[in-house]
Amino acid sequence: MRIAVLGLGGVGGLIGGALTRVNKDTSFCVRGAHRDAILKDGLRVDSALLGNFIARPLMAEEDASKIGVVDALIVACKGNALKAACAAAVPMIGERTLVLPLLNGLLVSESMEKLLPPCDLADGIIHVFSHIEGPGHVVQEAGSATIKMGMRQGGLRPPAMIELSRILSDASIPVLLPDDIALESWKKFTLMCGNSVIFGLYDGPASVVRADPAHETVCRAVWQELVDVAAAKGVALPGDLIDRYVAEFEGNPPDTVTSLYRDLRNGKAPEDTELAHVVGRLVALGRQCGAQAPLHEKMFEKFGGRL
């Protein structure tokens, strides 16, 4: 199977690296010092799940036209780079190409479909903690790396999705093909977006949040806003979801933050983060469907977000 990975960060590097071990025709669309290091020494992957290894793709190209049309394209960029990534990806996409986004956000295919030529555009989510340690070096510190994928409109799964899921499984990446990918996307988005809003409101990690005796009330209110917007969009999240997310938050290490809050805390301009792609998306959906999300609005405005 001809597979390409666009975006060789923590997620793309881990998944792309794993694929090279079982699928020879796996290429990376990557640029800069990261590409230079991969061409010279391969991609070093240190993984809690897969062990440590050197991945050698068939090609590592900045120009997607040199890779050409593939059977499956995994897009693993940051949300704020999605538009540019879609433009760069066009030479790799044919009518039967499966395009699988694996990035933060909600039903990312909705944002991608107007930017891509006709293809089999899926939605995907992944549960993993990984990052770029340096050029040519990706580290996965924790997480199952389980991928869930499906078609937003439901219906039959494209043959390329079945084949890609088999290859990923052969590469020791767990894969699930849920019937309702929209529900799964909302569940992950609710956790990630909610956590980011909580850290932003308190402007600190889990330890700062938990130092406030009223923090559980705030956390529940944040997640309730997400549940309410989901309901207004026709998605019924599980009744025990908020209880589970509160319990998980209480068990997080003291220094826990999300990547979005970390970027904002470190002084990145809002447009250089996923603020609009994540929190702004919820704010916009709330306004569209008439569901109130004042805590999300407050955090979004606090860090200079604009719709």
- At 201-233, the pLDDT tens digits run 999 999 999 999 999 999 999 999 999 999 999
Residue written as tokens 């309410």? 228
> Please, is 282 exposed, middle or buried when counting C-beta atoms within 10 Å of its C-beta (0-12, 13-18, 19+)?
buried
Q: What is the pTM of this model?
A: 0.92
| Distance of alpha carbon 143 from alpha carbon 148, whole angstroms | 14
Per-residue pLDDT band at 155 (split at 50, 70, 90): confident
Q: How many distinct structural domains can be found in the chain?
A: 2
Our measurement of the distance from residue 178's CA atom to the centroid of its chain's CA atoms, rounded to an integer in Å, reads: 17
How many CA atoms, within 13 angstroms, populate the side-chain half-sphere of residue 274? 21
Task: State whether 27 and 144 are in the same domain.
Answer: yes
DSSP 49: T
Mean pLDDT of the chain: 96
- Do residues 145 and 173 touch, judged by C-beta distance below 8 A? yes
Q: Give the DSSP H or E segment for 287.
A: helix 281-289
Question: For residue 194, is pLDDT > 80?
Answer: yes
In this predicted structure, what is the pLDDT of residue 99? 99
Residue written as tokens 């693993």? 76
In this predicted structure, what is the pLDDT of residue 143? 79
Tokens of 145: 């790396």
- At 32-71, the pLDDT tens digits run 999 999 999 999 999 999 999 999 999 999 999 999 999 9
**Domain end (from 151, 179, 207):** 179
| CATH at 63 | 3.40.50.720
Largest CA distance in the chain: 57
In this predicted structure, what is the pLDDT of residue 284? 97
Mean pLDDT of the region 146-160: 92
Task: State whether 215 and 118 are in the same domain.
Answer: no
Task: State whether 228 and 298 are in the same domain.
Answer: yes
**Domain end (from 125, 150, 179):** 179
In this predicted structure, what is the pLDDT of residue 307? 80
| Distance of alpha carbon 290 from alpha carbon 301, whole angstroms | 19
Tokens of 165: 């899921």
Task: State whether 169 and 21 are in the same domain.
Answer: yes
Q: Give the domain extent around 19.
A: 3-179
Answer whether residue 278 is part of any domain. Answer: yes
